[in-house]
Structure 1
């Protein structure tokens, strides 16, 4: 009888209660954060950053996790080199003084075993503000080429340029900016 009780106790310990967090390293070749805004109401302009790094930690059983993303602001790509320089200037990203933008989570919110949003702090141009990233897709599976576990997601939020001291030309050039982060990460 003691042996059966011990085996039941051991089985209980080996289940979800002992699930460990798993760390994934962001794949910079497939994580290219984008931002879009209204340009005088004529059109929605879309640009991206070509360099991002960070880590995602997730424990799907415990429904916890963390996200840490660092974006190299000088990697901004508007599709036009002269405009890249303009966006990198003091009126906007001021990349000489602020070479990175960061997002650091405070909480990952789940629906079942999938994250649906991530609360955290976005720091742009030295100014930190709370934001919530809405996760529109999430998938973890073995990577078919790398043969390692990987996770991917799409997440977005809307911020105001004026909140980050980048309000030049507002409201003609839209103050609201949609930030979208398509992210892929490989298990450490």
Structure 2
């Protein structure tokens, strides 16, 4: 009888520890091969679009309390791709992105407001072209799953609108400029779960 009680106690302890482990916040490394910062901007009477394909960073997700989650991300400005090589080179120059001087955009979250277990609003400091502004935008966790290589992944989608003029881009405010001021941004982020010992590095 005593041995049975000990075994039951061990089983209960094991289950509780397992539950706590599952409930712990998880850190995901952004997979830059499957993550994109897509954008759209007015061009004359229509719109043009492109992507920044080099997105890196980490996402901390607390599935039990989404408000405890956080994001740190970087975007390589030189990774811009509009499916037109000559246009890409023009955009990288001083009269537009000035990518040699300002080669990186960064975002560091300061707050997550949860709407439910998979949706919320992310607030943080976004730096572009040497200017830092606080922005907020809605996001959605698309899901979680095991990948073909034995890893565990999550997907995140977010949308926001920023003004180029807020970040010191003079071309956005010139009268008759062919390019607009409003930039629509869609973030498609895929993250790979890190082991606890790697998450803190």
TM-score range, shorter chain: 0.7 to 0.9
Alignment match of 1:120 (pick from 119, 124, 129): 124
Question: What's the TM-score, normalizing by structure 2?
Answer: 0.80
Q: Would you say 1:90 and 2:115 are equivalent positions?
A: no
- Structure 2 residue aligned with 1:178: 184
| CA positional deviation for 1:17 | 10
1:142 aligned onto 2:146 = yes
Q: Is the 8 A contact 1:155 1:181 kept in 2?
A: yes
> Residue 44 in 1 paired to residue 47 in 2?
yes
The answer for the alignment partner of 2:199 in structure 1 is none
* Structure-2 separation of matches of 1:119 and 1:112: 16
Q: Which moved more, 1:161-170 or 1:45-54?
A: 161-170
RMSD over aligned Cα, in angstroms? 2.4
Partner residue in 1 for 2:104: 100
Matched, 1:57 2:60: yes
Measured against aligned partners, the alpha-carbon deviations of 1:37-84 in whole angstroms (never above 9, x if no partner) come to: 1112x2121111121111101111132111111011011111212211
Cα gap change, 1:70/1:146 in structure 2, threshold over 3 Å: closer, same or farther?
same
Structure number having the greater helix percentage: 2
Aligned residue in 2 for 1:32: 36
Unmatched tracts of structure 1, length 5 or more: none
CA distance in 2, matches of 1:74, 1:18: 39
Is contact 1:47-1:76 (8 Å) kept? yes
Alignment partners' CA distance in 2, 1:114 and 1:146: 25
Instruction: Point out where structure 2 has 5 or more consecutive residues left out of the alignment.
Output: 195-201
Q: Find the aligned partners of 2:36 and 2:170 in 1 and give their Cα distance.
A: 24
Q: Is the 8 A contact 1:108 1:117 kept in 2?
A: yes
TM-score by length of 1: 0.85
